[in-house]
Structures are given as structure tokens and as C-alpha cells.
Structure 1
Amino acid sequence: MEFNNSIVWFRRELRFVDNAALDKACLCSKTIVPVFIFDTKILSTLVDKQDKRVYFIFESLKEMEEELKTYGKSLVVRIGDPTVEIPKLAQEFKADCVFTSNDYENYSIQRDYKVKTKLKDLNIQFISVKDQVIFEGTEVVKQNNLPYVVYTPYKNEWLKKAHENDFNCYSFDFKKFINKENIHTVPFSWKLTEVGFSPATLWLATGRKGALEKIKQFISKINDYSENRDYFSNNDTSNLSVHLRFGTISIREAFRFAFQYKSKGAEIWINELIWREFYKMILSEFPHVESMPFKKDLKDIPWENNEEFFEKWTKGQTGFPIVDAAMRHLNETGWMHNRLRMIVASFLTKDLLIDYRKGEQYFAEKLLDYDLSSNNGGWQWSASTGCDAQPYFRVFNPESQSLKFDPEGKFIRKLCPELSHLDNKNIHTPYKVTWNLFSHHKNSGDLSYPKPIVEHDQQRLKAIAMFKKS
């Protein structure tokens, strides 16, 4: 089938290279119109008008626009409801088809259904293709054709099923893009204020250039990744989660990169990429996880939900240095190391006895690499309500985690300067220091640090008892 004019709707794939929807459109279209919609339904829910994610998207789109300009082309950018804007643009450009990539969140599925229905009424086709993952939905299933609900057997089957063709790079042709002079529509100003937001401070470079820079930096770290990944003060992770989230690199590209290395570190990183696929499959096949526990029998856990505790957790004022340092880092940068995510999530649910959904929502507001499926999967794993072979009595000990993965307290000192004068042992447990000597120490200035808001060992027992009742 061949189309005269096709729209390629960019969403979670802010790149031209290795883009499945763009490849398919190029194969069967004479002319392509590249489109991005700033979705006001999503933007209206963002309270912070310096949202780091919006700024990352904006800067990445600018890079795409600059690349197109070198070929005499341009992006068509609109601000509004995609269910209105896409059909309108399809008519405006006399498009025969709209191409895009599959999305697995409930909102996205409903949005795409509305767009498809409206386009059908206009006799315009809507084609959505797999791009975010190697395997989606029921492509990896058990022998009885039911989806996996535990990661390890899913991973084993995933690896068994994977073939080198699944990681091939998709192609495209800039010559097929509509020429800029043929775009007779109100041009986008390329001012973030037009979207209703202001520039933010980011800790990493945006766009495809930023993604390639991170891959280059990871080359020297990947082989030792298995030994070093959990030591958050060194930051020996790939830092590619943001780029995978917004598609400035493709998931196929990430796997192709990893397959070059025959080391334990590369194997572990590949396993983590498969975790990402596992959680997307869970979201797709068990959509109830968006609002309730995967394990439905745990929907009535009697969470205590102490609001004062929750507020102190969000601000990094719990009296547990590793938790507080992690939360302060999240608030400042919009990013958190994976080991720290597990520590603070376990602390909120198992120490403070607060519903995981409150933490999940807070991360959704703050994380630059926020992805619903991974965020939900991680929180439910920590809260023992999700897909996990381990029972509910797994409770992270903040002190031992801190001693093991930040032994010299480097990360804590950086984020909790009021603790910087303590030695490598006491910095993990400042409440064991004589308080008068601590709070009036010359290096702490006017700063003070709170005493622990709970007693870990007691709360651990309460958490276990709480789950037993459920």
C-alpha cells in the first residue's frame, strides 16, 4: 500500500535514527510530515512550570528541528489536545495516513483509540507500530500462553526468543520529508513560554547528542558494571534512563551497544533492560496495576499514612541520612540512583507504613526519567504488592545499605552538609553521636539535623504484622 502524504507523529521517540514508525512511513509514503503535539491534557497536570521533563523534550525537539533545517525541512509543532490536533493536521496536509508508535499506558491507549476513530471517519488510516520494546504484550508468554508474572522466567524466555533480527536498525530518508516552504501553517515560535513553561536546570545534555555522549561515557564502565553499579557516590551507571524514556536513543540501539561486550557487567545491564520490558508487559497485560496492587488480595492493606512522616520523607528530613540524601538529590536534580530508589521506597512503605501509591505519585512528579510502567513496577516491588518472588518480610535496613554502598559517606556529605563533620562511621548514624556535641559542631554552622522519626527495628516488625493481617 502506498500513500501520497503521511504524518509521522513523534511522541516517546524523539529521534530520526532507528525509528520504527518513520521507517514504515518512508517505505510506503511519497511525502512525510513530521509532527509533535505538546499535549495540554498532560501539561495541565504539571504544577511546576519549570518542569525538567518539558524542558528536556523542548530542547530535544529543537535539536531535531536544527537537523531538519539543514535539509530545508521543518517540524510541525502544535499545542493542544492530540485527539483534536492530529485529525485537524491530517486534513490540513491532506494526509492519507498517520504513523506513530505503540504506547501502553491507559491514557495513551484511550487517546490513540479516539484519534484512530476520528481519522477513520475522515477515511484516513492510523498505523501504530512497536518501537519502545523488543517484545511487547503477549510476544513472550508461558507454555500455556499466559503472561509471565515473575521476572526471572520471563527473562529466560525473552533471551531464548530473541533473534539478531529483533535488534536491526530501522532506516529513513530525509528527502521524503515535506519541504519547509510547503508547510502553510502557523510556525512554532520555539519559545518554551509559548508552551506555558520556563527553562529548567538539567544535569545532563538533551537530545540525541546527549544520548550518544552518555553511551560514549558508559564504554569505560560497562565491563565493571556488575561490581560498581550499586555504589551511588561514584555514579557508575549508564545514566541512559532519561534518553530511553524520551527515545533519544532506541531500545534496539541500547541492546546493540551492550551486545558488543562479553562481560558480566554487560550481562547485568542487559538484564536491567529486560526488566524495563517486563514492567511494560505487566502494565499492558494487567492494566489494573496503574491504580491498585498487582496482588489484588493486598488492596486493603491498613497503611498508617502519617502525613507528617510523608512530608518529612519528601523533604529529606527523616533523620536517616541515606534516605534524606537520596530525597534531597531527587528534589534538586530530578534523578535518583536505582539502589537509592529501592532504599527510599522500602523506607516509606516498610518503615513509615505509608501507601506505596503516595511515593509512586511523588516520583511521578519529580523524576526526569519518569516512566509509568517502571515507576509502578519498582514501587510495587519495594512494597511487596507487585510481581516479586520474594515475600513481604523483605525490608531494607537504611543503616546497613548506607554502610555497604556509601562506606565513606561521600554521597551523604554532598547532600547533607550538616553531617559533613562526622567520621565515616558516625555519618551513617548521627543519632548515636552525643547530640549537643553534634548540633553545635563548628562545621555545622546554623544547620541542624533531625533525630530519626521512627525506630527501624520496631517499624520492621509492625510492617510484617500489617502484611500478615492483609
Structure 2
Amino acid sequence: ITAPSPRRSTWFLLQSLEDLDTSLRKLNSRLFVVRGQPADVFPRLFKEWGVTRLTFEYDSEPFGKERDAAIMKMAKEAGVEVVTENSHTLYDLDRIIELNGQKPPLTYKRFQAIISRMELPKKPVGSVTSQQMESCRAEIQENHDETYGVPSLEELGFPTEGLGPAVWQGGETEALARLDKHLERKAWVANYERPRMSANSLLASPTGLSPYLRFGCLSCRLFYYRLWDLYKKVKRNSTPPLSLFGQLLWREFFYTAATNNPRFDRMEGNPICIQIPWDRNPEALAKWAEGKTGFPWIDAIMTQLRQEGWIHHLARHAVACFLTRGDLWVSWESGVRVFDELLLDADFSVNAGSWMWLSCSAFFQQFFHCYCPVGFGRRTDPSGDYISSKKKLTDTTELSPFKEPKGGQCGGPRPLPSGPASPKRKLEAAEEPPGEELSKRARVAELPTPELPSKDA
């Protein structure tokens, strides 16, 4: 990439803000987008607007906590009341930690045991009405778009020439439409089981919801209770199993693990992370990130990620394993950064938590349980249709899209392209976090599935 290009997530966010502004217009109001650093903006607005109360969503992630603490300090100094609401997660994360002896549960089984002792998540509040807006109406100036309008990609300095259409349209309107489609499959909801993987599963789904949860376009509590109500309707008021909400709960699990750990996306200084002597291999990392490894299955996945900002959660498992313990032996921290740049739904907690899991750095230690970059792709997409649709193949690979690059062998021990040392020898040099109950055996049987349950997801 020789020129700066907009992140898909930036584009998605701007679309979401435009959709919110459209919804507010229907209530005879507008969205005010204020530009600048919080330390400069808030003191000025407190005075200009005569602010007496500041309300915002609680951010459980370490960076958000630090930012919000500074804002609350400014508000207090200005005599402004601060009200925070917690609705981006199903549960109060601090309460989960309290019930687990003042530390986050680090196995999914333990996490489930804790939340089973808690009250059900609070139900979402209703939509804002015109009557409610009457009491907090702001004056809309003629130059509102110039002063407080949603900026365009061009205004933010991103070139848009050659930018294809968005596969995922941002905003609450789209999120709610997708949710309705998602819940139309009553038989699937009533008889929920993990969807089987197929080539069609790899394509972007019209019922996928994960980016909308990440950006707050869809309330996790609304989704939770829509699932709950539909299940009870189909199953005649029987209590839904936890498995119905599994992917929402995995999200919650990683949020809980990250909330008090500012080093959650780092290996060094991270109290739950095994210290593994990863290789420094910028060339291998770049080829992986750009979809140029020579493994068509891996390259097709990374190409889709760059083009669309989304890949199926099992495709994420495959490329994460390939980058880290499976083939290239590059640190999971590098994978976190690439996904943070390219993925629409890559929030801090789920992104870093999934990478630690898949690299066997935390949560899961079945180190030699790997995804073969040839065999797994062949089983999932035996005809090679997915690979052909996402990656322009060379003359050699067109004849056999699953032919392994020279020097590797699937089904048994694999030589790492990054060097001669074996994974076993490197693993023996790894250091477990002091005082942690980590072991070389699996702590949890399940693989992480932060994507939402959808046969098309």
C-alpha cells in the first residue's frame, strides 16, 4: 500500500453517524459532531452551551477508562453533573470480578458459573420519542452541517478514488433490519446448534451482526431479549439454554478479562499471558497481512479481510494459527494490530483475547491442535470456489488451489517457514505467568467463537 486508505471501520462509523443524524431529524433534532481533543473541547462547550449534566456510556476497556476519568475530572471542576450508563455489555463486569474473588474468571466454564448466580441482564430501554425530545431540544443553526455535521472521508484526509461499495452498511437502521432477518429462522433458534462450516459460510452474511454490536448500532441487550422471547415462543415458555447466547457470552468473557488489564493486548507485562519467544520476521508478517504467503486458502482469507473488513470466525482461526504457532511463529501482538486496522468488529477486548487464545498464549493450551492451511481449506471449500472468488490465482495454483507450497507437509509435523527451530523446542522456552494456574493442557475445551451465531456468518 503506497497511499493512505480509509479503514473500513472509519467508513462504517461515519455511515453509522449519518444514520443516527437521519433518525434524529425525524424527531426534529440533529446530531452534533464536535471535533477536537477532549481536553480542549469539553471545557469550551461547558461554557458555551451552559452544560449542567453530562451523560455518556461507560467504557470498560482500559484506554476508555483513562480517557473518561480525565473528562469526569474536567466536568467536576466545571460544576457539571456526570451520569454514566452501562449498556454496552450484558452484565456489570465489576460485579463478575467481585463474585470471582476480585479477579476476572479466566476460563469460560468459570465465567458461566459466575453469571449463572447473577440476575438476568437488564432489559433495553425503549426508543426515544418526540415527546422526550421536546424537553432537551437544541437550537439548530443554518450552518449546522458546516459546524457540527458528520465529516466525510475526504474531509478526514482519506482518498476515495477506487473505493468499492461497502459490503457492510453502517447504522442502527441496517442493524435492526439484519436482526429481524436473523430471527426469522425460528427453527434454527429453537434447535440451536453450532452451524456446519461450508464455502457459503465464508461469504459476508446479510444477517451478520458483529460490527453493529461493536459500534453500538445494535444493543446487545436488545439482541439477547429478542432471542430469549423468540425461543420461549417456539419452545412454549421453556427457559433458553446458555448455548443460545453463547457468542454474546464469549464477547462478555473477553470484556471481563480485559477490563482491569491495560496490557491485555501485549505479551510483556500481561499477567495472564505466557511469555513465548516469538520470531521477529517483518517479511513474513507483511506477506501474511497482504495475502501473499503462497498458501491460496490463507491468502484468499486475508484478501477478503482487506476488501470487506470481515471474515468468518473459523477463517480467523485459520489465519491466526498460521501466523503464530502453526507456521510463521510471529507474535500474536502483530496479528492484533493487523486485525485492529482491517476488521470492522475488532474491538480491544475480543480482538486481543481471541489472538491470545488462538496462539495458545492464554485461556487455551492445546498447542499442537492446529489448523492445516491446506487440509482445512480443502475440507471447507473442496471446489476452490471461495479461493477463486477472493484471490487471483497464478497459473500453478489454478490447477490445484490446495497444492501446498514447496517445503511443507500437512497432516504431520510442519517445518516453520520462519526458521529451523521446531514449535516444540520453542514452546519449551516459554515462561508461564507467575502465580497463574496455566498449564500445557487445555484449560477450556471449547474454541473461541466471538462471531455471532448465524449459519451465514
TM-score with structure 2 setting the length: 0.78
Q: Is the 8 A contact 2:124 2:221 kept in 1?
A: yes
Alignment pair present for 1:194 and 2:155: yes
Q: Is the 8 A contact 2:281 2:330 kept in 1?
A: yes
Q: Which residue of 2 aligns with 1:230?
A: 197
Q: Deviations over 1:165-222 (max 9, x none)?
A: 6234355422233233479987334441333345553102221111022213323555
- Give the root-mean-square deviation of aligned CA atoms: 3.1
Give distance in 2, aligned partners of 1:184 and 1:227.
Answer: 52
Residue 216 of structure 1: SS of its match in structure 2? Answer: helix
- Return closer, same or farther for 1:297/1:55 CA change in 2, 3 Å cut-off: closer
Identity %, equivalent residues: 23
Q: Which residue of 1 aligns with 2:181?
A: 217
Q: Which residue of 1 aligns with 2:35?
A: 79
What aligned pairs does 1:52-201 form with structure 2 within 5 A after superposition? Answer: 52-141=8-97, 142=99, 144-163=101-120, 166-170=122-126, 172=128, 173-181=132-140, 187-192=147-152, 193-197=154-158, 201=165
Runs (4+) off by over 6 Å: 182-186, 262-266, 419-424
Q: Which residue of 1 aligns with 2:433?
A: none
Q: Which residue of 1 aligns with 2:217?
A: 248
Q: Deviations over 1:348-369 (max 9, x none)?
A: 0011000111111111111122
Q: Deviations over 1:37-71 (max 9, x none)?
A: xxxxxxxxxx8442222222222211221222233
Residue 83 of structure 2: SS of its match in structure 1? Answer: strand
How far has the Cα of 1:337 moved from its partner?
Answer: 0.9
Q: Which residue of 1 aligns with 2:435?
A: none
Q: Which residue of 1 aligns with 2:344?
A: 368
Q: Which residue of 1 aligns with 2:282?
A: 307
What aligned pairs does 1:445-456 form with structure 2 within 5 A after superposition? Answer: 451=405
Aligned residues: 401
Q: Is the 8 A contact 1:345 1:382 kept in 2?
A: yes
Match of 1:342 among 293, 317, 321: 317
How far has the Cα of 1:81 moved from its partner?
Answer: 0.7
How far has the Cα of 1:246 moved from its partner?
Answer: 0.7
How far has the Cα of 1:406 moved from its partner?
Answer: 2.4
Query: Which 10-residue stretch deviates more, 54-63 or 215-224?
Result: 215-224
For 1:283, the aligned partner's letter is: A
Give the structure with the larger helix fraction. 1
- Return closer, same or farther for 1:236/1:75 CA change in 2, 3 Å cut-off: closer
Structure 2, unpaired ranges of 5+:
431-457
How far has the Cα of 1:347 moved from its partner?
Answer: 0.5
Q: Is the 8 A contact 1:309 1:453 kept in 2?
A: no
Q: Which residue of 2 aligns with 1:273?
A: 248
Give distance in 1, aligned partners of 2:384 and 2:323.
Answer: 22
Give distance in 2, aligned partners of 1:233 and 1:151.
Answer: 29
Q: Is the 8 A contact 2:212 2:218 kept in 1?
A: yes
Give distance in 2, aligned partners of 1:266 and 1:330.
Answer: 33
Q: Is the 8 A contact 1:98 1:125 kept in 2?
A: yes
Residue 263 of structure 2: SS of its match in structure 1? Answer: helix
Give distance in 2, aligned partners of 1:251 and 1:414.
Answer: 33
**Larger relative contact order, structure 1 or 2 (CA cutoff 8 Å, min sep 6):** 2
Q: Deviations over 1:355-394 (max 9, x none)?
A: 1111111111111222011100110001111223x43333
Alignment pair present for 1:465 and 2:434: no
Q: Deviations over 1:113-134 (max 9, x none)?
A: 1111111111112222211101
TM-score with structure 1 setting the length: 0.76
Q: Deviations over 1:234-276 (max 9, x none)?
A: 3486411110011111110111122223699996451111010
